Structure 1
Amino acid sequence: MAESVLRNQRIWLNGRALQTQANAVALSIAADELDRTSLADSFKVRRGGLKSGVVSCEGFFDADLDAGLDQAFGVAGQIVTIGAPDVGEGALAYGLKAFAGDYSPWGGKIGDLAGFSLGAVSDGELVRGAIAADRTVSANGTGVGIQLPAPAAPLRLFAGLHILSMSAGATLDVEVKSAPTNAFAGGGTTRIDFGVVNAAAAPFAAWSSFAAGTTETWFRAAFTLTGTTPQAVVALFLGVA
């Protein structure tokens, strides 16, 4: 098996990218351990209970980043995507809604670079998937095709959208399409539509899911952008759980 060097990591919280200021990140997943031991047993019997995830991140203080983290602190439903090291679109990633209950804007001792720390726990599903988009969108188009397990019931397709910035006057609609193959004949079938986002709303983030079920296993983003020489910096997570 190949090793991975922890570098060039992708970390998004709502409409902000943390990787340019962060220098440490960790994601842990746990399941409650339930004791099923009865009087008839000679050894402990265990059952798996509810699952949860924990995200921690540390890095260098930045005033703009602090504004976003301060808004996220103490609020449920924050959109988080953490990608695999040293790769971009198509890379393994985990996505979740989170409750950010631990935030230190800065810390350190004299002479140090001021540092921040953030801790959050999952607020619902923690989903394994991939980065479907990590780009600047400047025209209508589509993202890379991502192959995932078929989200047949009871599984669902989850999507986490991060819009970091948009040019003045621009609007952006992001849809998630599915198809049986990576050819996406006919453009694919829309499974999730985030709706039109105006430039005034950026930075922006949203979490959505598709629960109707499908046997199709290929997914990609479709971008509809309007405005005069418009641009939008976008990241999109897709996963099935």
Structure 2
Amino acid sequence: MSHFVLLNCRLFTGGADLTGSSNKLELSAEVSDEERTNFGSGGWKEVIGGLAETELSGGGQWEAGDPGRVDDARWTELGGLGPWTACPDRADLGALAWFTAAMSGKYKLGDQVGAVAPWEGEAKGSWPLVRGQIAHPPGTARTATGTGSGIQLGAVPPGKHLYASAHVLSIAGTGSPSITLGIESDVDNTFASPTDVATFAAADALGGQITRAPGPVTDTWFRPKWTITGTGPSFLFVVALGTA
């Protein structure tokens, strides 16, 4: 990815796609520097990395009246822990994605007369910040049990985890439609002998989940799978995968 202008950032929190309500997105990661200077340091300070922290923030135009709109989503998630997934440029299959489990600690709305009603929100990470890829794009509706396309992440080494975030953005159908998402792996993109790596809880309402599976995982290809129930069901969802 070369230099580009921020025009099509994507932001997903819980069960909301906030892309159409956002015009600002910031993500920061920091590792504290802990001093370990001693008499053998030659007169120079020495530091080592300490605790890491992540902060995410967004803002834009305020909307309300639906679980997928910013006011409903931000108010519901305030004070809670859930997945935030951010893409600097589109959310197509394989697109760069940053995600983590974060505590939504701030929500602000309102401005002076005559202004387009704004909103601002902040969250602080409670899990590692993961640099990964979109494994299922948000605009592809699924109506039956199936699997997605594979992405090549590489093996998960010992001491690391495979992380996965999922946001269920739209549900249609009757007979209590439900979707259960999971992640499977294999040695190549044919997925001739896939292995289950991670599973999410069944979802029958808009919302987000994040999970992780410990390494080592020697397989290098990963893809989402889903089991769908209900009458005339249709689901929109986005999945991101990465190793940290």
Q: Distance in 1 between matches of 2:87 and 2:157?
A: 25
Q: TM-score, normalised by structure 2?
A: 0.91
Q: CA deviation at 1:87?
A: 4.5
Q: TM-score, normalised by structure 1?
A: 0.92
> Equivalents in 1 of 2:4, 2:141: separation in Å?
26
1:143 to 125, 135, 148: 148
1:193 to 199, 203, 206: 199
Identity %: 31
The answer to whether the aligner puts 1:91 opposite 2:98 as a matched pair is no
State how far apart, in whole Å, the 2-side matches of 1:212 and 1:89 are: 24
Question: Partner amino acid for 1:133?
Answer: H
Match of 1:23 in 2: 23
SS in 2 for 1:190: strand
Q: For the residues of structure 1 that align with 2:94 and 2:224, how far apart are their CA atoms?
A: 12
Q: How does 1:1-241 map to 2 (within 5 A)?
A: 2-41=2-41, 42-63=43-64, 64=66, 65-75=70-80, 77-104=81-108, 106-134=109-137, 135-167=140-172, 168=174, 169-186=176-193, 188-198=194-204, 202-241=205-244
Runs of 4+ in 1 over 3 A off after TM superposition: none
- The DSSP-based 3-state class of the residue aligned with 2:200 is strand
Gaps of 5+ in 1: none
* Amino acid aligned to 1:179: D
- 2:162 touches 2:215 (CA, 8 Å); kept in 1? no
Q: List alignment gaps of at least 5 residues for structure 2.
A: none
CA distance in 2, matches of 1:118, 1:209: 26
Does structure 2 retain, via aligned residues, the 8 Å contact 1:90–1:144?
A: no
